Structure 1
Amino acid sequence: MKELLKLYIDSYRGLSRPAWLLALVMLVNRTGAMVLPFLGIYMTQALHFSISEVGVVLACFGLGAVTGSWLGGWLTDRFGNFWVQTISLLASVPLFMAAPLFTSVKGLAAVIYILSVVTESFRPANSVSVARYARPENITRAFSLNRMAINLGFSIGPALGGFLASISYHWIFYGNALGAFIASLVFIAFFAKRKGNTRPKPTAGKGDKPSSRPLSPYRDWTFLLFSLFCCIYAICFFQLLSTLPLFYQQGHALNEKQVGIILGFSGFVVVVFEMLLVHIAERRLSYASSIFIGTALCAVSFALLPIPTGYWILYASIFLLSISEILAMPFMASVAVQRASKQTQGAYMGLNALAFSAAHVFSPFLGTRIADHYGFNVLWWGTAAVLMCVAWGLYLVVRKL
């Protein structure tokens, strides 16, 4: 027990003050993130959309995320991560406030697309901030700290969102707007004058010749293959935000509060275990091994869902899904950072974010249609089989990287 406690304390040592401040901003922002976990339920219950129509709107969120990830990376390399993050947070506030006014499939799809472009442009800029403020030897743990803050917010946000949704679904949009506004104020207060907010002058990256042009991630074929596997992993994982809440409601008759508690439990697991497990994985596992184990656990989590044994199987599944996230995602981000030179960090992190954002297009679109035509059990077994193949693909590619 003492050794475990020592490991837990050591996992937080050496992290810079800016890394902690970035984590605080993410905590505030994600505590207000209530819309996406309940968007599918909102459309079926309040707007009476079919499951297929829900898939169309959620796919538009994914298309916006793809656009926003590319745009955020491009803008970050040109104007700096500070301005991209600030504008993204502030511009999202009126969009969240206006979203409940759109009640048709086309209207809601359009506003969700625009909202997604704005909010997802934040991700590559924020990743560059984490990479630049972290000490090189602690970069994976810095990403983990940031993700821990995201998940702590995610454990609070859905639970609070479930309570607000039981009063009125409009309140989840207003709550998200308030969270983004407070996060923008905190971010500006901490980072407006902090050194490192502007883009540094181009310098040769590791392995680059001083006079050579940095390799674009879109010409880095090994990294492109890695990003493809990350995208497929994310397509499966992001069932958490689309078909999984619908399965909880339709397959197990859970109400909004109960769905919020399960999703909140996922964030709680990540908050408790992420820094410790990442610290252990850094010491004992390679990037390839950690990502392989994380992806395989994701497969097991979905394979458990068809087992008809009551509510406890839902918590066992979400627990394994959370551990999968801990072991896979921070190391995927670290692979992107290590592969990039300083002047292409925005592009590489943008492509890494693009891989996950593209999953927001395909995950709800494919998931809702498979569930609608073949049932949820076919969806879960198929997802598990795909993830096992992806686990081996990622292991082989990361070893080459």
Structure 2
Amino acid sequence: MRTVRGWFQDTAGGLPARFWYLWTGTLINRLGSFVLVFLAIYLTQERGFSASQAGLVIGLWGVGGAVGTTIGGTLADRWGRRPTLFTAQLGGAVMMLALGLARPLWAVALGALLLGAFAEAARPAFGAMMIDVVPEKDRLRAFSLNYWAINLGFASAAVLAGFAAQAGYLLLFIIDAATTLVTALIIFTRVGETRRARPVSKGAAAPTGALRTILADRVFLGFVALNLFAALIFLQHISMLPIAMGDSGLSPATYGTVIALNGVLIVVGQLFVPRLIRGRSRSHVLALAALVTGVGFGLTAFAEAAWFYGLTVLIWTLGEMLQSPSNATLIAELSPGELRGRYQGVFSLSWQIAGAAAPILGGLIREHAGNSTLWVGCAILGGAMAVAHLISGPARERRAVALRSVATPTEPVTVIEPPAPQAAEAAAISPAEPAHAN
């Protein structure tokens, strides 16, 4: 019992109360993330659109997301985390309902475009807020816990959405909008603004030169490029993997069961990852993650039976579990405080680009070079990324150390809006209580 209590304290204890409000918002939001799970089925079966029309709508969602994450990152730094996040989530809730009520193709397409923009505009602000409220020494644990909540909520949503859809697809949109709004209210009322106004020192980048600063940051852009390649591999699981399993004579239901192993493994094992990788070289962890991910997807070339596909999912999920918290802590340390939102936005943009490119590239390779070439190519790319992480890792760590030294307070720092008293927050939600880590 004492060992369990010690593990729990080591995993979830001592984190700021405001982190737990963010964590709770993440879980609630993901529990209601119904629409994206069933959007393709809704568009083709309920609305009667063709496969190409459904693809256009989903693609416009991605285009909107690319625009939204860029704007959201800028606003998070200039306007503030809280107003940006609240506005984006409020707009997302409204557009979610509008999309559910839309009927003509043009209205559905416009709704998807705007919904993608609002939904993704919230991500940089949320990421910056998470970095703001969690001390550097606790970020690995905090990001792992938040990632765990994301997967627990999303896995539960996939099951709950099936029951909700039986009562009518509009209910999916209503619940999704409601949970988004609840999340916005929790963060707006309980977390407060976290952005700090820092005096601009001589030689520091002014806000108007933020884009120029990011484009000149070769260490950061190299890290973003590596994440783009990782995303191109990873997103094959929702584009080419179901097609490959179909060619093996397996049903969509079997694909759903196999891919559910990803969420189950993360929910069961992610909380143990921080202790496993703590104190280890992040470059080595990220290299291992890339290699394991590549091997997992590469083995898909030899899969025919459901159990073999399930094995490949378990392998690349292990790589994902190693990569996610290491990525999150590293991007936090590579982001200058005054440009944190915009750095988060550029990093998120790599996922948006991969979301649009992965199915296109995967389809072209599969069509012209064959199924095996696609998956073996993923393995080769994963190996190349592992080498790239080992080579570029020392430069990233030097940059992180340099930014930490600059961020060390040597002069007064003005807080734009003071946070709520810690005593009141601790009374409202205690991070030491087991209920907050469920």
Relative to the length of structure 2, the TM-score reads: 0.79
How big is the shift at 1:226? 1.3
Q: Is the 8 A contact 1:235 1:360 kept in 2?
A: yes
Report the counterpart of residue 295 of structure 1 in structure 2: 290
| Counterpart secondary structure, 1:213 | coil
Determine the C-alpha separation between the residues in 2 that align with 1:194 and 1:315: 40
Report the counterpart of residue 272 of structure 1 in structure 2: 268
Q: Is the 8 A contact 1:158 1:260 kept in 2?
A: no
Supply the AA of the counterpart residue of 2:197: K
**CA separation of 1:290 and 1:102: change in aligned 2, threshold 3 A:** farther
**CA separation of 1:156 and 1:339: change in aligned 2, threshold 3 A:** same
Matched, 1:159 2:159: yes
Determine the C-alpha separation between the residues in 1 that align with 2:56 and 2:263: 27
Report the counterpart of residue 195 of structure 2 in structure 1: 199
Matched, 1:63 2:63: yes
Report the counterpart of residue 182 of structure 1 in structure 2: 179
Q: Is the 8 A contact 2:62 2:355 kept in 1?
A: yes
Q: What pairs up with 1:230-379 in 2 under 5 angstroms?
A: 230-249=227-246, 251-256=248-253, 258-283=254-279, 285-372=280-367, 374-379=369-374
Determine the C-alpha separation between the residues in 2 that align with 1:376 and 1:115: 34
- Note the alpha carbon deviations across 1:152-179, whole angstroms, 9 max, x for none: 11111122234455x48x62x6425423
**CA separation of 1:265 and 1:97: change in aligned 2, threshold 3 A:** farther
Larger Rg: 2
The CA RMSD measured in Å over matched residues stands at: 2.9
Determine the C-alpha separation between the residues in 2 that align with 1:250 and 1:230: 30
Report the counterpart of residue 122 of structure 1 in structure 2: 122
Determine the C-alpha separation between the residues in 2 that align with 1:323 and 1:369: 28
**CA separation of 1:155 and 1:344: change in aligned 2, threshold 3 A:** same
Unmatched segments (≥5 aa) in structure 2: 397-438
Supply the AA of the counterpart residue of 1:118: F
Determine the C-alpha separation between the residues in 1 that align with 2:44 and 2:387: 37
Determine the C-alpha separation between the residues in 2 that align with 1:394 and 1:55: 34
Determine the C-alpha separation between the residues in 1 that align with 2:339 and 2:266: 30
Determine the C-alpha separation between the residues in 1 that align with 2:112 and 2:368: 25
Q: Is the 8 A contact 1:162 1:259 kept in 2?
A: no
Range that drifts further, 318-327 or 120-129: 318-327
How big is the shift at 1:228? 1.0
Determine the C-alpha separation between the residues in 1 that align with 2:29 and 2:57: 23
Q: Is the 8 A contact 1:59 1:364 kept in 2?
A: no
**CA separation of 1:277 and 1:369: change in aligned 2, threshold 3 A:** same
- Note the alpha carbon deviations across 1:177-209, whole angstroms, 9 max, x for none: 4234224224423542545x15311246xxxxx
How big is the shift at 1:84? 1.8
Report the counterpart of residue 212 of structure 1 in structure 2: 203
- Note the alpha carbon deviations across 1:52-72, whole angstroms, 9 max, x for none: 666554443332222111111
Determine the C-alpha separation between the residues in 1 that align with 2:139 and 2:37: 29
How big is the shift at 1:99? 2.9
**CA separation of 1:161 and 1:54: change in aligned 2, threshold 3 A:** same
Supply the AA of the counterpart residue of 1:361: A
Range that drifts further, 1-10 or 369-378: 1-10
Question: Percent of counterpart pairs with the same letter?
Answer: 25
Report the counterpart of residue 433 of structure 2 in structure 1: none
Report the counterpart of residue 429 of structure 2 in structure 1: none
How big is the shift at 1:48? 6.0
Supply the AA of the counterpart residue of 1:276: F
Report the counterpart of residue 49 of structure 1 in structure 2: 50
Range that drifts further, 357-366 or 24-33: 357-366
Determine the C-alpha separation between the residues in 2 that align with 1:7 and 1:198: 30
Aligned length: 388
Supply the AA of the counterpart residue of 1:385: I
